[in-house]
Structure 1
Amino acid sequence: MASPVASRTALPDHLPSGPVGIAQRLIRFETVNPPGDEAACVEWVRDLLDAAGLETRLLALDPRRPNLIARLPGRGLVPPLLLHAHVDVVPVAGQDWSRPPFGGELVDGEVWGRGAVDMKGQLAMMLAALLRLRAAGTPPAGDVILAVVADEEAGSGAGARFLVERHPELFNGVRYAVGEDGGAELGLGRQVRLHPIVVAEKRAAWVRATLHGTGGHASRAAGPAGAAHKLQRLLTAIDGGGLDTQLTPVVDRMLQELAGALPQPVSGRIAAFRADPDDPSALDGIDETDARYLRSLVRHTVNATVIRGGTATNVLPASIEVELDGRLLPGDFTTDEFLGALRARTGCEMGLELLVEGELMPPPRLDGFYDRLAGILRAKDPEGVPVPMVTTASTDARLFPRLGIQCYGWLPLLHDPGTSYRGRLHCADERIAASALEFGADCFHELLIGHD
């Protein structure tokens, strides 16, 4: 790494230092994954931080897809803190955009473009906070490590996974990490501004189920031994969205805090669901999107996504394959237990092949660092309500716990309760308010000044 610069360093005029200008510039790099090609974007971030005098280093499995590690030395009072962000984005093909998706335009107080929310806007917040500290000559309490990575949207193989597996020494001493929130959001009537702090993620268990049956002429009744009949039993068994309900401690606390923060009648509905997640009427009156999300947090979910089988209309198939997207609750749940429960629930013979197994993450901790994230939000937005959340998606936060790092998803946004920024992820017309970027940068600055 380059030697740290002790004195204050002013950025050249052509380089932005605020979150709005940084976000605009990041969006203008077309880093759609696949193929990614994040090099130009990552190198621009390196040049920005080099100009400010931060230590930087590029590491790559693929030279077209480098990762940046930057370090702002601190006062050594607390362990290093990791901030991590990806610069790849999902495709825009087939979407009807009102404005150029890679224009980074500022229109009516909003920055438009793919990645504005996921997650170039958040990276802009992090960078603006680091640059502000550097320009003021104010070192943080401990070192701050920023990992700007490739490939999060397609498995992280060239990005965070590469860093964790090949360069774990870069993260020596890190206890906590802050990254994206995986789109975690609850509208709940848009009556209260909720600030989700993601403390855990569900992990993937993608499975191929093979159902064998008696083949033959389709003019005759197949009976229960037929592969199609077994398929029907499988689909019926998971029709409710997954396996039996399990209320984990972190989801229990989340529901308790939501019930205490929200007005009636929503509060009562959340309390009823917490008391009996199996009651199909508990969430009556709750927005269907929110209700489905909450139900996903109290069970291992299983959804059939791909079905293959049969050769002709008049031939009974001897076998049918079904691909299932399983998502396991956070905690010490094993995939063997999940597969066993799936077999028991369906009650029919089938072969189960595990296609993808997500990383086993430790049970979430809501400790002093979580309290600090929540406290910053309360101070910056007294009317808002921080709440611990579990996301059904997965992010790079699933990888860093291998190194003993506790990860949090934290995207501080100040917005009208009726505005769904996170609902714009992966959608046409993705955009974020300039004021939201400024608010987020202030929150990150507060975090870095005295993280503990």
Structure 2
Amino acid sequence: MTPLNGEDEVVGLCRDLIRIDSTNAGDNAGPGERQAAEYVAEKLAEVGLEPRILESDTGRANVIARIEGADSGRGALLLHGHLDVVPFNAADWTHHPMSGEIADGCVWGRGAVDMKDMDAMILAVVRQRLSQNRKPPRDVVLAFTADEEAGGNYGAQWLVDHHPDVLEGCTEAIGEVGGFSVSISDSRRLYLIEAAEKGIAWMKLTATGRAGHGSMLNDENAVTELAEAIGRLGRYQWPVRLTPTVQSFFREAFDIELKAEDAEEAVAKLGPLARMVGATLRNTANPTMLDAGYKANVIPQSASAHVDGRFLPGYEDEFFGTVDELLGPNVTREFVYHDVALETAFEGSLVKAMSDALQEEDPGSKAVPYTLSGGTDLKAFSRLGIRGFGFAPLRLPADLDFSGMFHGVDERVPVDSLKFGVRVLDRFLDYC
């Protein structure tokens, strides 16, 4: 086999994946991931692997492959990335979100940072190493999943429930939303490694009252009851709760022993990081949808709303206790989607492998842990006892609003960042 160069391939792989429509609106009515899965499987088969495509429903496809390591007696490492992307309005974009256009030194398109960039980097590194007959130190399992953008019921959750055998032996994992750089000064960059993520509580709230004519008095109005509860919940000032990962972030990045009373002021000084880190100081509950009534002169019997709740590791019970108190006795809640919060210590050989690989490619940089305000497929994989981190390494320009790219307009990733990621991941696999 002719040796391949991952840096030469990664941009083309990323563009190809962006051009495959795998949008996921959460209703199981989109194109699915099958075409993207077939593309990934073909690229893996070309370098001697035997990938499996596992469908949870028509078109909802996951790809699994295993690479034999030098020491198969060690716990295997899981590299995971999702193939689906969120929808878009093409009219809002500078370049069409499925074009994979290269402009201003970047690859543009939906999925460029979430997360077809990492899918491409994994493919590029694996193809490079296998074409050069370079085994990793231990077994590596590759998982390219469906449905992450809607909770993973057709993807990672389904794999864990129905095909846990394909992940047999995996003890550690790396995936998305970590390993990207933040410039503190012209000469100093931090690389944020996701070591924790908030739990998810998407809830439907329902108030039930007495139906009646809109012209008459009614002290059991479901709309009023719900509106007051939503107002209390949406305006509630959640207290600061400093988790170990948030404290470690400030300690490692800025040599600050953070106290709760100083947290807001410290976050305000972080510049572009403030939006990302600020959401990890406390639980949150944001009303997002309202539904009530069918005619202007009819008081409906019920009214409903949806809320996006996120709770910190270790604070789930406090979160739900507060939510129930704010809602009051006349509003009920049920889960639309509920998943755990995760947190792991920023220590051990895997952390050292990530840190060393980054420093080899960017001397003087520093890897630091952070908490993700959202969630990833790691929630599902953790049910099998897999300890994981967010590590999709990218060295980014200081003026790029990276956090704003997730699910945003004009999503793009620098070409040089993709090539950097290939080099770092290649070193990481040697060290892990």
TM superposition shift of 1:406 = 0.9
TM superposition shift of 1:438 = 0.6
Q: What residue in structure 1 maps to residue 282 of structure 2?
A: 299
1:182–1:393 CA contact under 8 A, matched in 2: no
Query: How far apart, in 1, do the equivalents of 2:229 and 2:173 lie?
Result: 40
Task: State whether structure 2 residue 361 is matched by structure 1 residue 366.
Answer: no
Percent pairwise identity: 34
Q: Deviation per CA, 1:332-390: give whole Å up to 9, x if none.
A: 734xx5332222345564322233211x3554232312232123223322243322111
Task: State whether structure 2 residue 96 is matched by structure 1 residue 103.
Answer: no
Q: Which of the residues 108, 111, 117 maps onto 2:113?
A: 117
TM superposition shift of 1:319 = 4.7
1:164–1:403 CA contact under 8 A, matched in 2: yes
Q: What residue in structure 2 maps to residue 276 of structure 1?
A: 260
Normalised to the residue count of structure 2, the TM-score between the two structures is: 0.86
Query: How far apart, in 2, do the equivalents of 1:441 and 1:301 lie?
Result: 36
Kindly tell me: are residues 316 and 44 of structure 1, through their superposed partners in 2, closer, same or farther at Cα, counting changes over 3 Å? closer
TM superposition shift of 1:159 = 1.7
Give the partner amino acid of 2:2.
A
Q: What residue in structure 2 maps to residue 70 of structure 1?
A: 65
Q: Which of the residues 259, 267, 283 maps onto 2:254?
A: 259
TM superposition shift of 1:38 = 2.1
2:209–2:302 CA contact under 8 A, matched in 1: yes
Q: Deviation per CA, 1:253-272: give whole Å up to 9, x if none.
A: 12323333xxxxxx7xxx6x
Q: Which of the residues 403, 407, 420 maps onto 2:384?
A: 403
Kindly tell me: are residues 102 and 362 of structure 1, through their superposed partners in 2, closer, same or farther at Cα, counting changes over 3 Å? closer
Give the partner amino acid of 1:333.
E
Give the partner amino acid of 1:252.
Q
Q: Secondary structure at the match of 1:399?
A: helix
Kindly tell me: are residues 375 and 234 of structure 1, through their superposed partners in 2, closer, same or farther at Cα, counting changes over 3 Å? farther
Gaps of 5+ in 2: none
Task: State whether structure 2 residue 422 is matched by structure 1 residue 441.
Answer: yes
1:198–1:391 CA contact under 8 A, matched in 2: yes
Q: Which of the residues 18, 22, 27 maps onto 1:27?
A: 18
Q: What residue in structure 1 maps to residue 413 of structure 2?
A: 432
Task: State whether structure 2 residue 307 is matched by structure 1 residue 324.
Answer: yes
TM superposition shift of 1:27 = 1.7
Give the partner amino acid of 2:415.
A
1:361–1:401 CA contact under 8 A, matched in 2: no
Q: What residue in structure 2 maps to residue 3 of structure 1?
A: none
Q: Which of the residues 40, 45, 49 maps onto 1:50?
A: 45
Kindly tell me: are residues 445 and 208 of structure 1, through their superposed partners in 2, closer, same or farther at Cα, counting changes over 3 Å? same
Kindly tell me: are residues 344 and 18 of structure 1, through their superposed partners in 2, closer, same or farther at Cα, counting changes over 3 Å? same
Q: Secondary structure at the match of 2:288?
A: strand
Q: Which moved more, 1:425-434 or 1:228-237?
A: 228-237
Query: How far apart, in 2, do the equivalents of 1:54 and 1:97 lie?
Result: 38
Q: What residue in structure 2 maps to residue 10 of structure 1?
A: 2
Query: How far apart, in 2, do the equivalents of 1:279 and 1:178 lie?
Result: 29
Q: What residue in structure 1 maps to residue 239 of structure 2?
A: 244
Q: Deviation per CA, 1:264-323: give whole Å up to 9, x if none.
A: xxx7xxx6xx31258766655655x75454342132211111223356656666654332
TM superposition shift of 1:55 = 2.9
Q: Which moved more, 1:34-43 or 1:234-243?
A: 234-243
Q: What residue in structure 2 maps to residue 356 of structure 1?
A: 337
2:44–2:51 CA contact under 8 A, matched in 1: yes
Q: What residue in structure 1 maps to residue 325 of structure 2?
A: 344
Give the partner amino acid of 1:205.
A
Kindly tell me: are residues 425 and 348 of structure 1, through their superposed partners in 2, closer, same or farther at Cα, counting changes over 3 Å? same
Q: Which moved more, 1:190-199 or 1:43-52?
A: 190-199
Query: How far apart, in 1, do the equivalents of 2:314 and 2:260 lie?
Result: 21
Kindly tell me: are residues 172 and 419 of structure 1, through their superposed partners in 2, closer, same or farther at Cα, counting changes over 3 Å? same
Q: Which moved more, 1:339-348 or 1:124-133?
A: 339-348
- 1:31-180 pair list within 5 angstroms: 31-34=22-25, 35-76=30-71, 78-93=74-89, 95-180=91-176
Query: How far apart, in 2, do the equivalents of 1:211 and 1:109 lie?
Result: 52
Q: Secondary structure at the match of 2:92?
A: coil
Q: Secondary structure at the match of 1:18?
A: helix
Q: Secondary structure at the match of 1:244?
A: coil
Q: Secondary structure at the match of 2:388?
A: strand
1:85–1:149 CA contact under 8 A, matched in 2: yes
RMSD in angstroms over aligned alpha carbons? 3.3
Query: How far apart, in 2, do the equivalents of 1:124 and 1:399 lie?
Result: 22
Q: What residue in structure 2 maps to residue 308 of structure 1?
A: 291
2:241–2:260 CA contact under 8 A, matched in 1: no
